[in-house]
Chain A
Amino acid sequence: MAEEPPTRQAIGRTSATEQDPITSDEFRFWLPPDTIVNPFDIVVVDQVSQPGHPPSKTYGLVTSLEHRTDAPNDLANFISSNFGELSEEPNTPRQGTTVAFVNVLSNTADIYMPVPSERLVYFADPEGIQQALGTDTLLRDRPHDAIPAGLIKMSNGASAVAYLDRRYVLGPESAHVNISGISGLATKTSYAMFLIQSILQRASDPEKIAVIILNVKQADLLQIDRRPDQPLPPEQMELWEALGLEPQPFQNVRYLLPRGHNGQANSYPPVPTIHTLYAYDLEGTADKLDLLFSNVADPSGTMEGIYGEIMAGITGHDAEFRDVQSWGALLEFLRRKQSEGGRWRGMFAGSSIGAFRRHLRRIVQTRQTGIFVDSRSRNEKLLSSELVNIKGGYIYVVDIAKMADDEQTLVFGDILRTVYAVKAEEAEDRTEQAPVPEKVIIFVDELNKYAPGGPKASPITQQVLDVAERGRSLGVILISAQQFMSAVHDRVTGNCATKILGRTGSAEVMQPDYRFLEQDLKMAVTRLVKGELLVSHPVYRQPVKVIFPLPAYQQEQG
């Protein structure tokens, strides 16, 4: 589970000065020469305790390091090099020390007095790291709720597992996970898949958890139930083992692939042999027309009014829509209304109908990828019909990689709406006898496409907000990812209790969305390398840096 350092050796002494006192929240320590300490190392110092008790321990997280010398200014160093002589090495190097800045994480006796000066500082041992993070009680009292979220590697070679508290990931205390970081490091999706694997492996009730995964890129997630052709490298196997997890592919996976123009799956190869095609006919989409128009600018609300009339007309079996049974029929219906003159239903001018029709035609006819059909064949299912029968213990991979943006929005909104309905109320058309899963985890990448920031929430954004704000109580959990957290609606990210950060640009990390990070840690985020992530979790008093293993399923590189 964790690796002990060879010996316990002091790495410095705490230091308080006139100018820089030690406080309840922070302390500093100087390092002897040749001692290596890095940001995110967790250290421990002896602290006072109540009379008759052994000394308590104060744990802290190293946030940054500085090297200080006795030179009062750069000119002193210039002069010390014989007035700018580059070739001369100093006979006596200037006195200097590296000072580590530490944020207090916890004290074992809940004593938050400032740590005294001159105290020896040590690297925390694995057990101490759990105390520092506040997960020691989790491991002691509710070990089944401890979800491995990565491995903390310290500069002294010691390591410890960073655990998430399930009650803060899947509810009821808090919920949702958001993953940010620049693209190209293959980290965000891999981490989400690792986390899902970890949740499922550690769950005592995996049969009560269903997972819906949206595949947005290539065939990345279309073989998650296949063992990799090449076995994982030994160091990756060791990482899985260190985390207490089995390196295994997912089980009970169902692939839901979009229909293409040719009636076959519109997915990047290799296409899973066993899969279900889904498509949208008008009948199955009538109640989701709003989602189709999520990306259409509608400042006056005209579009919203028109699709509202259509949705109500079709689903309410309005006589005017009796012959409107297909997308083609709907477009023809709209053409007629446009050319009839006057205002349709006294509200919508012909020009507005025309604009609506043009958008609809573009989405479902001219620019569509084959997903919209006038009538579904027997093997083409409605996505909502499949998901309304969602079963615990199953993973549903919904491929949207090749679809147009409007189609992707429809699919994601359809998933959210269906799952929300299944969990919130008794779904009338659910035929599955198995109980509705207690938890439904939905993983989606590129969340910024569906819930962008801004004052006006589109139908899809509203749907995401619903899940983010009320999903916790229903057991609908969002694991989302995007490049820039600042591009996502702040009510969505604000409701994600656990935030995972990969390497992020310095401009992005200065956005207000990263207020939860201290300045030093913001800079550290810009230096993260591939495979390193920062985990901010409600149980932790400070974010921690972790590494995690590669997925143990077949991955296709596009």
Chain B
Amino acid sequence: MPNPLASITPVLELLGNHLKILPATGGAVEELQHPDIDEIEDALLNRETGEITDFAETPTPSPANLYRPTPPLFRPEKHLFRFFIDGSLRTYYLATGIEGQRSFPIQLAQIGAAVMERDDQGLVRCLKSEHKVLLLVPTGAHGLSDTVWQQLERLRTPDGFFEPVDITKKTPLTPREPTEDDLRNRAGGIARHRMHQLEIDLVKETDSRRNEDSWLILDGAVKLDDFIRAPYLIGVAKSFRKDPEFRFGRGRATGRLDITSILAGLEFAHRTVAFSAHDGKVAFWYVRLRPQKELDYPLMGVVKVELPRPDGTPVDSDLADLLSRALVAERNVTPYGQDRRWHCHLYPIFLAEQTIKNRFYSQQVLLGAIRWPRPTATP
């Protein structure tokens, strides 16, 4: 059986013939993800919302009461969330390439996303999944010359499975100019950005089937390059930035609260009121899925919910309650023992993640495909 990653062989030959290659120990080294990558991502995507000053809920809540009860609304009673989307990625450091005076990392990423559908019996199946392999290299002053890059681009596969990606490009997850020192981390951000693009593409698969009784949960934020405008969709983040400040009221009545204080007061099966972000284009709130007494830390067992409001209107309290109640019911079952974020993980999202990971090629397959050409002896 041919190696399914055989399409990268000519890429390696091209790079090997034009660059000096210093291969990674063992052929390829998996880049371990930052333990708080979701939180970092939330901070990047919502960097403009460090201070929250407005509610995004109608009727407008009182700053004196930021919580609303949301007892669980189980599937047999109302099956609201029927679609779930998550993505996953694995990044490998393959080699250091040297072209002229420039040395830079050569990395490979497997990215994927899946949309899952849940039927009325609660059984989950994969509606569609995407899987791509990216070669992550810098270009220009920090990397490949235009000549090599153009040749590399010609090796992308027609089906889009393999694609070389220039990691010097700016994205919401890599907002700064590249520097020589952060190229390796930057590749991870670029790969995550591409993974989120796959996720957003998969939203379309559910367009004709989403309605007020049939919602989709996207893992993470609802803003990427732009706001997701699709209706009947929420983003649910397991990890979120812990530094925003909440300030409501005017003049002497102004009250300041940090997120820890707010979430410490959030009881089980309750939500916070909805807050406004991105000039009202996103309404977000927090929901406690699990009792605090069962957990180690007040911020555990809480998810952040984002609802796109493309027209900037506040969300109706009843709708936020409904979504939150259905979300609280998603606490059963949980991937306890399989994921350290079990306390705020939604099981169908976990299944989407597993679906993708199970489709990734193993490191053994990857290593089987990594065959750098032997350097020809110089006379």
Contacts and interface: CB of A to CB of B under 8 A. Distances in A.
A421 interface: no
A90 B331 CA distance: 8
A71 interface: yes
B306 interface: no
A150 B323 CA distance: 60
B330 interface: yes
B76 A89 contact: yes
B294 A83 contact: yes
B175 interface: no
A91 B73 CA distance: 10
Interface in B317-343: 329-338, 342
Nearest to A94: B333
Contact of A76 (B331, B337, B351): B337
B221 to A, nearest CB: 23
B20 interface: no
Given A71-B337, A75-B336, A76-B336, A92 B291 contact: no
A72 interface: yes
A375 interface: no
A33 B123 contact: yes
B348 interface: yes
A81 interface: yes
Nearest to A70: B338
Contacts, number: 71
Q: How large is the interface on A (under 10, 10 to 19, 20 to 34, 35 or more residues)?
A: 20 to 34
Contacts of A218: none
Contact of B74 (A75, A76, A89): A89
Contacts of A71: 333, 336-337
Nearest to A93: B122
Contact of A95 (B330, B331, B332, B351): B351
A532 to B, nearest CB: 33
Nearest to A95: B351
Given A33-B123, A93-B123, A88 B333 contact: no
A33 to B, nearest CB: 7
Nearest to A72: B337
B337 A92 contact: no
Contact of A80 (B122, B123, B291, B333): B333
Contact of B347 (A75, A83, A89, A92): A92
Contacts of A70: 335, 338, 354
B371 interface: no
Contact of B332 (A33, A72, A75, A81): A81
A385 interface: no
Given A82-B331, A83-B291, A83-B294, A92 B336 contact: no
Contacts of A72: 336-338
A92 B338 contact: no
A93 B74 CA distance: 12
Contact of A88 (B118, B123, B332, B336): B332
Contacts of A33: 123
B34 to A, nearest CB: 24
Contacts of A95: 124, 351, 354
A77 B336 CA distance: 8
B75 interface: yes
Interface in A83-137: 83, 88-95
Interface in A52-88: 70-73, 75-77, 79-83, 88
Contacts of A80: 332-334, 336
B84 to A, nearest CB: 9
Interface in B52-94: 72, 74-76
B337 A90 contact: no
Most buried by B among A71, A79, A94: A79
A91 B122 contact: yes
Contact of B333 (A73, A75, A83, A90): A90
B347 A79 contact: no
B74 A92 contact: no
Interface in B339-367: 342, 347-348, 351, 354
A558 to B, nearest CB: 53
Contacts of A90: 122, 332-333, 347
Nearest to B118: A92
Most buried by A among B294, B329, B333: B333
A17 to B, nearest CB: 12
Interface string B101-128: 0000000000000000010011110000
B348 A92 contact: yes
Contacts of B336: 71-72, 75-76, 79-80
Contacts of A81: 332-333
Contacts of B118: 92
Contacts of A88: 72, 74, 332
Contacts of A92: 75, 118, 122, 124, 330, 332-333, 347-348, 351
Contacts of B347: 90-92, 94
Most buried by A among B72, B290, B337: B337
Interface string B286-328: 0000110010000000000000000000000000000000000
A299 B39 CA distance: 87
A76 B350 CA distance: 14
Contacts of B76: 89
A90 B122 CA distance: 8
B214 to A, nearest CB: 15
A89 B290 CA distance: 16
A79 B330 CA distance: 13
B332 A91 contact: yes
Interface string A264-307: 00000000000000000000000000000000000000000000
A82 B332 contact: yes
B337 A73 contact: yes
A133 B274 CA distance: 68
Contacts of B348: 92
Interface of B: 72, 74-76, 118, 121-124, 290-291, 294, 329-338, 342, 347-348, 351, 354
9 residue pairs, one from A and one from B, having the closest CB atoms: A80-B333, A72-B337, A90-B332, A76-B336, A76-B337, A79-B336, A91-B75, A90-B333, A94-B333
Given A76-B335, A89-B332, A90-B333, 4 more contacts: A76-B334, A76-B337, A82-B290, A92-B118
19 contacts: A71-B337, A76-B337, A77-B333, A79-B342, A80-B336, A81-B332, A81-B333, A83-B290, A83-B291, A88-B332, A89-B74, A89-B332, A90-B347, A91-B75, A91-B330, A92-B122, A92-B348, A92-B351, A93-B333
